[in-house]
Chains A and B, each alone.
Chain A
Amino acid sequence: MRLTRADRHLLDEGTDVQRKAMGILLTVGRLVEAARLVPITSAHVSGASYKMIGDPGLEFLEDFAQTARVSVPTTVNPLGTDLAQWQELGVPPTFAEKQGRIARAYEAMGVRPTFSCTPYLLGVRPGFGEHIAWAESSAVCFANSVLGARTNREGGPAALAAAIVGATPEYGLHTDRGREPTVVVKVRTKPHGMDYSLIGLVAGERVGDGLPFFRGFRGTEEDLKWLGAALASSGACGMFHLEGVTPDARGARVKGLKSITITRDDLTTAKRAHSDGTEADLIGLGSPQLSAAELQRIARLVDRTPPRIPIWVFTSRIVRDANPDAVGIIERHGGRVLADTCLEVTLLEHRFGTVATPSGKGAYYLPSLCKQKVIFDDVEALLERYA
Chain B
Amino acid sequence: MRLRARGIVPGRASGTAIASSAVFSFVGGVDPANGSILDEATGIAGERLEGRIFAFPTGKGSTVGSYVLYGLGKRGYGPAAIVNRRADAVVAVGATLAGIPMVDRVDVGGLLTGDRMVVDADRGSVELPDVKAKRVVTAILRNQGRILIVRRSEKVGTFRGRWSAISGHIEGRENPRHRAIAEVREETGLRGIVLRSGGDPVFARDGATMYVVHPFLFDVPSRRVRLDWENVEHRWIRPEELHRFDTVPRLTDVVAAILGPPA
CB-contact partner of A47 in B6, B8, B63, B89, under 8 A? B63
Q: Contact between B96 and A60 (Cβ–Cβ < 8 Å)?
A: no
Query: Is the CB–CB distance between A20 and B87 below 8 Å?
Result: no
Choose one: B8, B64, B97; the contact of A20 (CB below 8 Å): B97
The one of B6, B7, B8, B67 that contacts A57, using a Cβ cutoff of 8 Å: B67
Interface SS of chain B: helix
Chain B residues near A (Cβ < 8 Å):
6-9, 32, 62-64, 66-68, 70-71, 74, 87-90, 92-93, 95-97
Q: Per-residue CB proximity of A303-335 to B under 8 Å, as 1/0?
A: 000000000000000000000000000000000
Contact B8 A30 (CB under 8 A): yes
CA distance A135 to B223 in the complex (A): 56
Q: Using Cβ atoms and an 8 Å threshold, which residues of chain A touch B68?
A: 56
- Knowing A27-B8, A28-B89, A56-B32, say if A20 contacts B63 (CB, 8 Å): no
Distance of B57 from chain A, by nearest CB (Å): 15
Bound form: Cα–Cα A155–B68 in Å: 15
| Minimal Cβ-Cβ distance residue in A for B65 | A56
Is the Cβ of A156 less than 8 Å from the Cβ of B89?
A: no
A56:B87 contact, CB within 8 angstroms = no
CB <8 Å contact, A59 and B63: no
In the bound complex, do residue A155 and residue B90 qualify as a contact, i.e. CB atoms below 8 Å apart? Answer: yes
Once the chains are docked, how many angstroms separate the CA of A46 from the CA of B9?
A: 23
CB atoms of B93 and A57 under 8 A apart = no
Is the beta-carbon distance between A23 and B96 smaller than 8 angstroms? yes
CB pair B70–A31 under 8 Å, yes or no, is no
Which residues of chain A in 154-168 are interfacial with respect to chain B, using CB atoms and an 8 Å cutoff?
A: 155-158
When distances are taken between beta carbons in the complex, the residues of chain B under 8 Å from A20 are 96-97
Cα separation A47 to B63 with both chains bound (whole Å) = 8
Q: Which of these, B6, B74, B88, B93, contacts A158 with CB under 8 Å?
A: B93
Q: Which residues of B contact A158 (CB under 8 A)?
A: 89, 93
Q: Is B67 touching A53 in the complex (CB atoms < 8 A)?
A: yes
Q: A24 to B93, Cβ gap below 8 A?
A: yes
Nearest B residue to A54, CB-CB? B64
The 9 A-B residue pairs with the shortest CB-CB distance, nearest first, are: A56-B67, A27-B96, A60-B67, A57-B67, A56-B68, A155-B63, A23-B96, A27-B92, A56-B71
How far apart are the CA atoms of A53 and B67 in the complex, in Å? 8
User: B97: which of A30, A47, A157 is its contact (CB, 8 Å)?
Assistant: A157
A156 and B70 alpha carbons, distance in the complex (Å): 14
| Bound Cα distance A55, B75 (Å) | 14
> A312 vs B8: C-alpha distance in the bound complex, in angstroms?
45
Query: Is the Cβ of A52 less than 8 Å from the Cβ of B90?
Result: no
Q: List 6 A-B contacts (CB under 8 A).
A: A30-B8, A47-B64, A52-B62, A56-B71, A60-B71, A155-B93
List of A residues within 8 angstroms of B7 by Cβ: 30
> Do B97 and A60 have beta carbons less than 8 Å apart?
yes
Q: Kindly report which residue of chain A lies nearest to residue B87, judged by CB atoms.
A: A31
Would you give the shortest CB distance from A15 to chain B, in whole angstroms? Answer: 15
- Contact present for A28 and B67 (CB under 8 Å): no
Cross-chain contact B64 with A53 (CB below 8 angstroms): yes
Q: How far is the CB of A87 from chain B (nearest CB, A)?
A: 27
A55 to B74, CA, bound (A): 14
Q: Taking each of B64, B67, B70, which has the highest tally of chain A beta carbons within 10 Å of its own beta carbon?
A: B67
- CB-CB nearest in chain B for A32: B89
Give CA–CA (A224, B186) in the complex, Å.
Answer: 64
Q: How far is the CB of A51 from chain B (nearest CB, A)?
A: 11
Once the chains bind, are B97 and A31 in contact (CB under 8 Å)? no
Bound together, the chains give a CA A47 to CA B71 distance in angstroms of 16
- In the assembled complex, the Cα of A46 lies from the Cα of B66 at a distance in Å of 13
- B63 close to A24 (CB less than 8 A): no
With A20-B97, A31-B87, A56-B71 already in contact, 20 other A-B pairs whose C-beta atoms are closer than 8 Å: A20-B96, A24-B96, A27-B8, A27-B95, A28-B93, A30-B8, A31-B92, A53-B64, A55-B32, A56-B32, A59-B67, A59-B71, A60-B67, A63-B74, A155-B66, A155-B90, A155-B93, A156-B66, A157-B63, A158-B89
What distance in Å separates the Cβ of B263 from its nearest Cβ neighbour in chain A? 19
Pairwise interchain contact B93-A27, C-beta atoms closer than 8 A: yes
In the bound complex, residues from chain A placing their C-beta under 8 Å from that of B66 are: 60, 155-157
Q: Give Cα distance in the complex from A127 to B34, angstroms.
A: 47
**A27 and B70 within 8 A (CB):** no
Residues of chain B with a CB closer than 8 A to A59's CB: 67, 70-71, 74
